[in-house]
Copies of this chain bind each other. A is one copy, B any other.
Amino acid sequence: MKTILSLFLVLALAASAAEKPFGLVLHGGAGVIERSSLSAEREAEYRAKLTEARDAGYAILERGGAALDAVIAVVTILEDSPLFNAGKGAVFTADGTCELDASVMDGRTQAAGAVAGVKHIKNPITLARSVMEKSGHVMLIGDGAERFAQQEGFTLVPNEYFQTEHRRQQLERAKKNAAAKKTAVLDREDHATRIARYGTVGCVALDRQGNLAAGTSTGGMSNKRFGRVGDAPIIGAGTYAHNATCAVSATGWGEFFIRVGVARDIAAQLEYRGTPLKTAAATTIAKVGALGGDGGVICIDKDGNIALPFNTAGMYRGYRVSTGAVGVEIFGDK
- Which residues from chain A sit less than 8 Å from chain B, CB to CB? 105, 110-112, 116-117, 135-145, 147-148, 185-186, 188, 225-230, 234-237, 240, 254-255, 258-261, 264-265, 268-269, 271-273, 275, 291
* List of B residues within 8 angstroms of A236 by Cβ: 234, 236-237, 258, 261, 264
* List of B residues within 8 angstroms of A145 by Cβ: 226-227
* List of B residues within 8 angstroms of A112 by Cβ: 258-259
* List of B residues within 8 angstroms of A225 by Cβ: 144, 147-148
The docked-state distance in angstroms from the alpha carbon of A226 to that of B225 is: 22
The docked-state distance in angstroms from the alpha carbon of A139 to that of B230 is: 7
The docked-state distance in angstroms from the alpha carbon of A185 to that of B130 is: 13
Q: 22 A-B pairs, CB-CB below 8 angstroms?
A: A110-B259, A110-B260, A110-B291, A117-B142, A136-B185, A138-B255, A140-B229, A141-B142, A142-B227, A144-B225, A145-B226, A147-B227, A234-B236, A235-B259, A261-B261, A268-B268, A268-B271, A268-B272, A269-B272, A272-B272, A272-B273, A273-B273
In the complex, the answer to whether B259 meets A136 with C-beta atoms within 8 Å is no
Closest 5 CB pairs of A and B: A144-B227, A268-B268, A272-B272, A144-B226, A236-B261
What's the least CB distance linking A224 to chain B, in Å? 8
In the complex, the answer to whether A226 meets B137 with C-beta atoms within 8 Å is yes
Given contacts A138-B258, A235-B234, contact A143 B227 (CB under 8 A): yes
In the complex, the answer to whether B188 meets A226 with C-beta atoms within 8 Å is no
In the complex, the answer to whether A228 meets B144 with C-beta atoms within 8 Å is yes
The docked-state distance in angstroms from the alpha carbon of A273 to that of B275 is: 11
